[in-house]
Amino acid sequence: MPSLWGTGAVFSIEYGMQGGIYIGISGWSYYDWKGIFYPGDLKSADWLTYYSKYFHITEINSSFYHLPREKTVLGWKDKVPPKFLFCPKMSKYLTHVTKLKDPEEPLARFFEVFDVVRKQLGPVLIQLPPSLKYEESLATNFFEILKRDYSNYSFAVEARHNSWIGNEAFALMKKYKVGWVISQSGVGFPYSEQVTAKNIYIRFHGPGKLYASSYSEEMLQEYADKIANWCNTGHSIWVFFNNCYNGVAIDNANTLKKMLGL
């Protein structure tokens, strides 16, 4: 049995305003979690249900590589409590192949799948490739379509090219209420603590080796203080640990929970 401090990792902590804190892991399907988090005899088909007893939110990374079938998404929904939330990652075809050009058709296909669980979705993660530079016309067109056709969803952009860190890009995201992803890593992903929307989205990829290194208590405490302050000003903070190898994300998530008094 894993060592856990709490009974859930989605939190809506009120600090006198409308903000909330949501903490989870980037996915749940990791074979090396067996014996670390999942009981060794637990079938993989039951992992999500087990995960949902401790964490009430997760990212869906598989949708980045290939869109699941609608019945698969509904199957995930049936395995978790009604208040469990999913944050799916936008299709790689849209972000890495077409690079946000002509987005209508790939967006339609993506949301045909996920609209069936819309009430259980947090922000949709849009991870851009390192080769995609910020272009005002391209970004404006994309955000305009999101606003026009998908206003009942929220979005967060994780850029991997430094040109997105600038007043022009941030002003555009603020205009369209698109969140900027605070992307912490030890490999130099573009980093800024700019707040562009009510939803603040943080991804912890590992301070050293990507996806496999653990955060110190000192570093997590720094973020805990920032998260509490953001929440106190009415923001919703979505925190995902993507340093999933060897289960270090689980320990880091629970350390952060404890620091926030959860």
DSSP H helical ranges for the chain = 47-51, 62-65, 70-78, 92, 104-114, 136-149, 167-176, 217-232, 248-259
Tokens of 227: 């998260």
The mean pLDDT value for 198-206 works out to: 98
Angle, helix 136-149 to helix 167-176, in steps of 10 degrees: 10
Q: Tell me, what's the pLDDT at 121?
A: 98
pLDDT given at position 19: 61
Task: Give the gyration radius of the chain's Cα atoms.
Answer: 18
Q: Is the pLDDT of residue 9 over 70?
A: no
Would you state the pLDDT for residue 146?
98
Q: What is the DSSP letter of 13?
A: -
Among 17-21, 61-65, 112-116, 151-155, where is mean pLDDT lowest? 17-21
Does residue 198 contact residue 167 with C-beta atoms inside 8 Å? Answer: no
Average pLDDT over the chain reads 93
CA dist., res. 212 & res. 249, Å (int): 8
* Residue 1 reports pLDDT greater than 80: no
User: Residue 78: its pLDDT value, please?
Assistant: 98
Q: Which of 174, 171, 121, 128 lies closest to 150 in space, CA to CA?
A: 121
Residue pLDDT, tens place only, 135-145: 999 999 999 99
pLDDT (0 to 100) of residue 10: 38
pLDDT at 3 > cutoff 80: no
| Per-residue model confidence as pLDDT tens digits over 61-88 | 999 999 999 999 999 999 999 999 999 9
pLDDT in tens, 172-193: 999 999 999 999 999 999 999 9
- Residue 209: which pLDDT band, with cuts at 50, 70 and 90? very high
CA distance 46 to 38: 10
The pTM score is: 0.92
Contact 186, 206 (CB under 8 A): yes
Task: Check residue 261 and give its pLDDT.
Answer: 87
Q: Which amino acid is at 29?
A: S
Task: Please choose, from the candidates 244, 130, 134, 212, the residue with its C-alpha nearest in 3D space to the C-alpha of residue 178.
Answer: 134
Domains in the chain with CATH codes: 10-259 (3.20.20.410)
Mean predicted confidence (pLDDT) in 12-28:
69
Query: Which tens digits make up the pLDDT trace of 87-114?
Result: 999 999 999 999 999 999 999 999 999 9
Instruction: Tell whether the model's pLDDT for residue 18 goes beyond 80.
Output: no
